[in-house]
Amino acid sequence: MPKSDRHLVLGIETSCDETGVALVRCEPSGGVPALLAHALHSQIAMHQAYGGVVPELASRDHIRRVLPLAEEVLAQAGARLADVDVVAYTRGPGLAGALLVGAGVACALAAALGRPVLGVHHLEGHLLSPFLSADPPEFPFVALLVSGGHTQLMRVDGVGRYALLGETIDDAAGEAFDKSAKLLGLGYPGGPALSLLAQQGDAKAFALPRPLLHSGNLDFSFAGLKTAVLTQAKKLGDALEARKADLAASTEAAIVDVLVHKTLAALHATGLTRVVVAGGVGANRHLRAQLDAACATRRVRVHYPELHLCTDNGAMIALAAAMRLQAGRQQAHCDYAFDVKPRWPLDALEAENP
């Protein structure tokens, strides 16, 4: 089948605790692919009892959900399985067992249909997800990738052209939210819970550390923050309950301050005037407000994914596959022997598909 005929891309995301499936259509004009339908099942309720993601349970639940979600997506789009031209899946990074479910299902579907498959980098999905928003970005831009497992600043010159500017040397921003929330007894996933409580608190109540704020480079470090939160919580003792919102607000402010400061430094270092924020922490309202305010005074445009596409979803995987195909960065293939890459740096993509 010639490449130009590969219109419909089915995307499957199973890297962690959300099963996502979506269908996008490549536009012959070369414009941004259109999202025709997407469906998501979140495992949050299942993992909540354990205070975090249980990998084995995640894999088993992906197995249960992925085909019904694919059927739902096709029905929503008024398409048949046989209409799908390429099947895309998240190849990494993520939980190995969870990734294997998506990869296995995608390759089995593609083999049965006689269609090619394409493995997608999860972070590339996040990074390109703002292209599905009403106000899509243009290349080049600085990307702030803030998810549960990653905190990175990248220079993005085009599809597949990603240069790492800086990253966390220990915990990710999402992890800092999650671990601090756990210390405050807020449960999983901690980010949204901590952020909600922070709305009622005073962000200046506690002076928490802003690690590497003035390090002179674009790296991050969040591991010390949870220790500082723990120390503060212990110090408060019985008074913690009454001051929890203040501590949550101070924690959120510390994380957001560092993210905003380093993003501005990355813009300064690259001379770029556009920034894209992607990944679950990109849903944080305080981060959005602070970054918008800082960028407005510097005439920098900020782009976010739609709120519901900030956390993991199938739409970003289908989109990334479609954009890679359109840009000629990668060919889908009919070799159905698959592997997954639980650890996979984003800037390695360019070396693999120069």
- Based on CB atoms, which residue is closest to ligand KG4, 275 or 283? 283
283 binds ligand KG4 (CB under 6 A): yes
Residue nearer to ligand KG4 on the CB measure, 255 or 332: 255
Taking residues 120 to 159 in sequence order and writing x for each that binds Zn ion by CB under 5 A, - otherwise, the string is ---------------------------x------------
Q: Which residues of 207-230 are buried (b: 16+ CB within 10 A; e: fewer)?
A: ebebbbeeeeebbbbbebbbebbe
Burial of 261 (0-12, 13-18, 19+ CB in 10 A): middle
- Residue 144 C-beta: closest distance to ligand KG4, Å: 12
Q: Given the rule CB under 6 A, which of 58-66, 83-91, 184-192, 242-250 is the region that contacts ligand KG4?
A: 184-192
Residue 145: closest CA among 117, 115, 180, 121: 121
In this structure, are residues 347 and 162 in contact, taking their beta carbons and an 8 Å threshold?
yes
CB of 153 to ligand KG4, least distance (A): 16
Closest C-alpha among 121, 106, 117, 107 to residue 70: 106
Sheet holding 117-121, edge to edge: 34-42, 18-25, 8-13, 86-92, 117-121
Site map (CB under 6 A) of ligand KG4, residues 111-150, x = contact: ---------------x--------------------xxx-
Using CB under 6 A, which residues numbered 203 to 242 contact ligand KG4?
Answer: none
* Shortest distance, position 39 Cβ to Zn ion, whole Å: 17
DSSP 303: E
Q: Return the amino acid letter for 138.
A: E
Tokens of 248: 């949550």
3-state SS of 127-177? Answer: HHHHHHCCCCCCCCEEEEEECCCCEEEEEEEECCEEEEEEEECCCCHHHHH
Is residue 190 at the binding interface for ligand KG4, with CB under 6 A as the rule? yes
Residue 130 binds: one of Zn ion, ligand KG4, none (C-beta under 5 to 8 A by kind): none
CB atoms within 10 A of CB 30: 9
Binding mask 16-55 for ligand KG4 (x = CB under 6 A): x---------------------------------------
Q: Which two tokens stand for residue 255?
A: 């994380």
Nearer to ligand KG4 by Cβ, of 26 and 248: the residue is 248
Q: For binding to ligand KG4 (CB under 6 A), which residues are involved?
A: 16, 126, 147-149, 174, 177-178, 189-192, 195, 279-281, 283-284, 311-312
Q: For binding to Zn ion (CB under 5 A), which residues are involved?
A: 147, 312
